[in-house]
């Protein structure tokens, strides 16, 4: 029997109001729901809910990458044009290398749903043995950017960013990621 390797993922929801209890966080639940539906590997999710403070975002990303050794770290929130939206700046500050295609694809997908997607500043980076991706904060946009744009029959028109995540995680030395191909088809690395 071939067992799938454990996939450890850092999940960071960045919101001043949710982190202080003004309203319930929706980012972490949406990320968890989507990942549990898509990924077949056993998951270990390391969750953080923090305010929009650049130094705290940076230290959280560093801890998840360097201490927790998460090969994949997904953030949600703090990517808009507002002064308190500093997630991209924090992510770039801790990055070794940038992978611009992730942010480009997230904006392309979001433009199918809202013209304000051009204001989005998501980035994708590598830090050591971790892939860090900034997702939008709106729950429906999280699912859209991960899964892509589908037509009325459910056929994929534009693949989501998760289609390329297994190769990027493999590139940083992470485990082979398997998904439910009907829900989230991916390109697997050649091993």
Contact in structure between 76 and 137 (CB atoms under 8 Å): yes
In a domain, 99, yes or no: yes
Does residue 30 lie in a domain region?
yes
User: pLDDT (tens digit, 9 = 90+) per residue, 29-44?
Assistant: 999 999 999 999 999 9
| Total structural domains within the chain | 1
Question: The CATH number of the domain where 118 resides is what?
Answer: 3.40.980.10
Question: 154 falls in which pLDDT band (50, 70, 90)?
Answer: confident
Domain span including residue 44: 7-171
Residue (of 11, 12, 162, 9) closest to 78 by Cα position: 12
Residues 6+ apart with CB under 8 A from 76: 11, 12, 13, 14, 27, 28, 30, 31, 134, 135, 136, 137, 142
Does residue 183 belong to any structural domain of this protein?
no
3-state secondary structure of 1: coil
Q: Write phi, then psi, for 55 (nearest 5 degrees).
A: -60, -40
Q: What is the pLDDT of residues 99-114, one digit of tens each?
A: 999 999 999 999 999 9
Please state, rounded to an integer, the average pLDDT across all residues of the chain.
95
Instruction: Decide if 177 is inside a domain.
Output: no
For residue 182, tell me if it sits in a domain: no
- For residue 138, being part of any structural domain is answered with yes
Q: Does 120 fall in a domain?
A: yes
48-64, pLDDT tens digit by residue? 999 999 999 999 999 99
């Amino acid at each position: 029997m071939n067992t799938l390797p454990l996939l450890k993922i850092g999940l960071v929801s960045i919101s001043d109001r949710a982190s202080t209890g003004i309203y319930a966080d929706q980012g972490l639940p949406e990320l968890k729901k989507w990942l549990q539906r898509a990924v077949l590997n056993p998951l270990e999710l390391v969750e953080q809910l923090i305010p929009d403070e650049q130094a705290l975002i940076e230290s959280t990303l560093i801890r998840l990458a360097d201490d927790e050794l998460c090969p994949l770290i997904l953030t949600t929130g703090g990517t808009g044009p507002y002064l308190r939206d500093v997630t991209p700046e924090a992510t770039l500050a801790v990055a070794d290398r940038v992978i611009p295609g992730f942010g480009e694809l997230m904006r392309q997908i979001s433009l199918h749903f809202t013209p304000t997607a051009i204001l989005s500043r998501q980035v994708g980076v590598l830090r050591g043995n971790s892939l860090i991706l900034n997702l939008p904060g709106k729950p429906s946009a999280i699912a859209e950017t991960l899964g892509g744009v589908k037509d009325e029959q459910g056929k994929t028109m534009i693949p989501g960013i998760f289609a390329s995540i297994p190769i990027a995680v493999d590139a940083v030395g992470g485990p082979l990621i398997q998904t439910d191909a009907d829900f989230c088809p991916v390109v697997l690395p050649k091993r």
